[in-house]
Chain A
Amino acid sequence: AQSVTQLGSHVSVSEGALVLLRCNYSSSVPPYLFWYVQYPNQGLQLLLKYTTGATLVKGINGFEAEFKKSETSFHLTKPSAHMSDAAEYFCAVSVTAGNKLTFGGGTRVLVKP
């Protein structure tokens, strides 16, 4: 069975500062990894995904994540935070297409002016 751990339920960053959200996973087979974003009172929107190939994945809104197999990690970063990045971010893992996603606990990002 797969699982996801997100370190830090809340992160506060200043506008223009680096955003770093941590995600570690466990999976018995090579995983598919995802980051979803949830803005207040909205659904889940895909930010980026890793399936195979290049381990550095670029997504929407300037976010990127790097798959590190040796560390079982898939941390999300953005070089410069914007006020519009305030949202909750969920890391998720799947083991094959058509399989369920297992989500981490989420990290709520607050951006200070």
Chain B
Amino acid sequence: EPEVTQTPSHQVTQMGQEVILRCVPISNHLYFYWYRQILGQKVEFLVSFYNNEISEKSEIFDDQFSVERPDGSNFTLKIRSTKLEDSAMYFCASSGDPETLNTGELFFGEGSRLTVL
């Protein structure tokens, strides 16, 4: 069964360093998303991406964050200068294949845990 894959599963970085989290969405999906979950808290929307541009972003997604779809398969989240409060699990999701397009269902990856020291 097709699935969303994310790398790395866990990354430890120093405050102020740049981090890139990578995602391979399901191949025929059209919409791509990043969410984050700080330990013990709710799953929060960061950004959605469609037709090679950001379609919506939350107030969390400030100038330190960027997303890119550099080729036909990868979808990346970059944090330019990490802060302690960026420590969280980051989930990539995709949606929009012809069968589930009308249901709004998102398919999530296993997540990338980011620890900022």
Contacts and interface: CB of A to CB of B under 8 A. Distances in A.
B96 A97 contact: yes
B45 A97 contact: no
B43 A97 contact: no
Interface in B47-79: 48, 50, 55-56
Q: Please classify how large the interface on chain A is, using the bins under 10, 10 to 19, 20 to 34, 35 or more.
A: 20 to 34
Contacts of B55: 98
B50 A98 contact: yes
Given A100-B33, A104-B42, A44 B108 contact: yes
Contacts of B41: 105
B42 A103 contact: yes
A105 B42 contact: yes
A97 B98 CA distance: 11
B103 A97 contact: yes
Interface residues of B, number: 28
A22 to B, nearest CB: 15
Contacts of B50: 98
B109 interface: yes
A43 B5 CA distance: 11
A43 B45 contact: no
Given A43-B108, A97-B96, 14 more contacts: A42-B111, A43-B91, A43-B110, A45-B108, A96-B104, A98-B30, A98-B31, A98-B50, A98-B95, A98-B101, A100-B33, A100-B48, A100-B56, A104-B42
8 contacts: A43-B110, A44-B108, A49-B104, A90-B43, A97-B95, A98-B30, A103-B44, A106-B43
